[in-house]
Each structure stands twice: as C-alpha cells, then as structure tokens.
Structure 1
Amino acid sequence: MPTPSDDRNSDDSPAPALDDLESTAELHALGPAACLFKSLGDETRLTILQHLSLGEHRVVDLTDHLGLAQSTVSAHLACLRDCGLVVSRPKGRASMWSLAVPELLALLRSAELLLEATGDSVTLCPTHESTIAGATSPHADREERG
C-alpha cells in the first residue's frame, strides 16, 4: 500500500542536478562575505576603521576627525557594530569604540596591497564609477533623458 510520502516523491518533476545544488550552496556560502564587503564599501566607514586601528576613540573624537554630524558617525558605528567589526565599552558618560577583531587590520592591509597592485583600475571601472566621491555615472546623461 502506498504511503503519503510515496505520493510526494512520485511526481514527474526532475530532481535538481547536483551541480545546481552545489552552485546554490556556494552562492549561499558567499552571502556573508558579500555582506562584509558591503559594510566595508563605504568611505566613511573605512575612515572610521582607520581611526580605530590607531586605538580607541569616542564618537566626539571621530566627529571632530571626520567633520561629520554625531548622528552620521553613530549610524556608521552601529552598522560596523552590527557586522561584528567594532565594539564599544562605557567610560563615564561616553562610549569608547575599538576594532572587535585584529584580523580586520590584516584585511585592510591586504586591500591596500591589492590597490597598489591594480593601480587605478578600480576607480576607472565604469560599473563602480558612480560610487566614487565626486564622480558621475557614465550613463548619467541617458538616465536623466531616459
């Protein structure tokens, strides 16, 4: 006598190919890495991380260094904290912010070495040109007319 589980497996749809499953698993496994690099893909957050690589800072110190509003710096710190890249500890009425993991310094240094090796290639890439400070999209004319 067939069981309900037999009915579920008896449809005519093909089973997913092993290669498709492996590709999906690989993409899923890369998701956290993509999120990490998105968190590092902002110039302000990178500047904050550079300052924190020198030691602990208060938000007021970072706002002075960066010339940004306290709310802006706090929002970027919250993003970095939520990604596990920075931590804070109370000191009086202030919070002292620092890097959460020393491996972040090695990653930032590797990025510097990669930029030295590739030169201006990244900044000249038309895909990313619109995200570079002061640059406009190569398609801006068409987008405005479009």
Structure 2
Amino acid sequence: MSCCPDDATPAVALFRSLGDPARLAIVSRLAQGEARVVDLTRLLGLAQSTVSKHLACLRDCQLVDFRTEGRQSYYSLTRPELIDLLRSAELLLAETGAAVALCPVYGEPAQTIETKIVTTS
C-alpha cells in the first residue's frame, strides 16, 4: 500500500509522504548525499524492512530514486527543491513557536526520531 493514495491531491500526498518522522529523517539524510538501506537502517535504528517500506513510499511519490552498483542500491533525492521546502518549514516553525502544534485529535504521537534539516552548500 502506497503512502500517497491515488485520491489525494498532490499537496496532500506530498505532505503525507513527509508526515512520518522516519521518512523525514531519510529525506534529511539524503540531503547530504546518497545512502544505502543499511546506512539508513543504522542511522534510524529501524529494521531493514521498515526502512525499505519508507523508501518505497518516497519512491512512489517520486521524491527519491536509486541506482544500483553491484548488489548495492544507492538512494538519493530526485528533487533538491525538497530541501528548500523543508528549510522554509523549519523557519516557519521557528517564527511561530508553540502556535504550530500537532492537533490533539490527530492520533497517537509518532515515535520521535530526531531530525534536523541539513543545510547543504
């Protein structure tokens, strides 16, 4: 099952694909350059199958792609503009402070995975 349902508007699908802490952490890591599933698994402390499912979601939304080299697959961002979007969101959150919060009726809080948007020059 894709994290980007066919009936969702493009903006909803985009933000839904970024709405999971693990996927956001993957995108942040890929902003630094290519990574293998094993690299992401070690970074996130998640099972390989879980990381692969998150990568599949991001691939379905055409935010990441991969290339193979021998038996290894190297994942990378397809749209560098995504980092600009995340930086803008970080600035917005810094300015709004506590005014922007998770809706208390949204559901159970997701497991926290520390993410920091990486500034690439």
Shorter-chain TM-score tier: 0.7 to 0.9
C-alpha offsets along residues 23-74 of structure 1, whole Å, 9 cap, x if unaligned?
Answer: xxxxxxx811111111111101000001100100000000000000000000
Q: Provide the C-alpha distance between the structure 2 equivalents of 1:48 and 1:118, rounded to a whole number of angstroms.
A: 25
The one-letter code sitting in structure 2 at the alignment partner of 1:103 is: E
Match of 2:87 in 1: 109
Match of 1:75 in 2: 53
Alpha-carbon deviation of 1:123? 2.8
Q: Provide the C-alpha distance between the structure 1 equivalents of 2:89 and 2:10, rounded to a whole number of angstroms.
A: 18
Q: Which has the higher contact order (CA 8 A, sep 6+)?
A: 2
Q: Provide the C-alpha distance between the structure 2 equivalents of 1:72 and 1:81, rounded to a whole number of angstroms.
A: 14
Match of 1:119 among 93, 97, 111: 97
Equivalent residues in 2 for 1:1-146 (5 A)? 31-123=9-101, 125-128=103-106, 130-133=107-110
Instruction: Tell me, yes or no, if the aligned pair for 2:68 and 2:74 is still in contact at 8 Å.
Output: yes
Superposition TM-score, scaled by structure 1 size: 0.66
Superposition TM-score, scaled by structure 2 size: 0.79
Structure 2 unmatched ranges of 5 or more: 1-7, 112-121
Q: Percent identity?
A: 62
Instruction: Tell me, yes or no, if the aligned pair for 2:64 and 2:76 is still in contact at 8 Å.
Output: yes
What is the SS of the residue equivalent to 2:30?
helix
Alpha-carbon deviation of 1:125? 3.7
Q: Name the Cα RMSD after superposition.
A: 1.6
Larger helix percent:
1
The one-letter code sitting in structure 2 at the alignment partner of 1:36 is: L
When structure 1 is superposed on structure 2, of 59-68 and 118-127 the one drifting more is 118-127
C-alpha offsets along residues 86-110 of structure 1, whole Å, 9 cap, x if unaligned?
Answer: 0100011010000001111111111
Following TM superposition, the consecutive aligned residue runs of length 4 or more in structure 1 with deviations greater than 4 angstroms are none
Larger Rg: 1
Instruction: Tell me, yes or no, if the aligned pair for 2:65 and 2:78 is still in contact at 8 Å.
Output: yes
Q: Provide closer, same or farther for how the CA distance between residues 37 and 131 of structure 1 changes in structure 2, counting only shifts above 3 A.
A: farther
Alpha-carbon deviation of 1:124? 5.5
What is the SS of the residue equivalent to 2:94?
helix
